[in-house]
Amino acid sequence: MSLQNSEVERRGGLTNLRVDERVPADDPLMWVSRFRTKAHSIWLKLSYPFVGFGRKVSIHHSCEIRRSHSHKIRIGDFVLLDREVWLNVPVVSANSEPALIIGSGTNVGRRSVISARNQIHIQENVLFAPAVFVTDHNHEYTNPDVPISEQGITGGGTIVIERNCWLGYGSMVLAGKGDLVIGRNSVVGAYSVVTESCPAHSVLVGNPARVVKALDPASGKWTRRLDEATGTR
């Protein structure tokens, strides 16, 4: 397939694409949003009492983080929170432990929500697609005589998303109770709902999510998992 107005050079197995110089430049108004985001990030770092706020953190100016909750949040270096991300701490406990830890190099896609009552620990270099929802609690609903909006939230559990995981578009991680751990280098498929722990190097899909592929340490290849219910892969 030919590439018009561009040149592909292959050197040492790498592909270098030279983009057509006639491609329009970004709209200058985009710089207004970028400036606001830069100023917003600096303002948060200087005026919010975060447990930690790393270097070169970018938090879009449309993100929602309440100042009264920020002392329960730790953010590492080079973290990116895209537009309309919401970091929520619904119950501010008296203990000194942070409720939400976002590790260095993590990118959180636009319109994602992270709500931590107990503790959610997102390790280094985790990638969120847009509209991901992660929560370690739920709304209480057991009393049918009281509106759900007035019943508060459950005790919940804890969540650890280990390093280098990728959470696909619209996926959810829900810890109703106990400890939920997504092992390192795992992938959660789009719109999947994770309610149980999984080992490292897993690919999860479905609702509830199940492991459909895993890394074989012997061969170094990703292989499909056998479905115990149907006996198929």
Domains of the chain, residue spans: 27-202
**CA distance to 130, 136, 142, 192, per residue, from 139 (Å):** 23, 11, 9, 20
- Sequence-distant (6+) residues with CB within 8 A of 112 are 82, 85, 86, 128, 130, 131, 132, 133, 134
Average pLDDT, consecutive stretches of 10 residues, N- to C-terminus, the chain (233 residues): 45 55 78 92 96 96 95 97 96 86 98 96 98 95 91 92 98 94 96 96 95 87 66 48
Give residue 78's pLDDT. Answer: 97
Give residue 7's pLDDT. Answer: 45
Can you read off the two tokens belonging to residue 116? 């931590």
Give residue 17's pLDDT. Answer: 56
Give residue 8's pLDDT. Answer: 41
Give residue 3's pLDDT. Answer: 46
Give residue 24's pLDDT. Answer: 81
The structure's pTM equals 0.84
Give residue 160's pLDDT. Answer: 98
Question: φ and ψ at 114, to 5 degrees?
Answer: -125, 115
Give residue 16's pLDDT. Answer: 59
The pLDDT mean for the chain works out to: 88
Give residue 27's pLDDT. Answer: 80
Give the CATH fold of the 27-202 domain.
UDP N-Acetylglucosamine Acyltransferase; domain 1 (2.160.10)
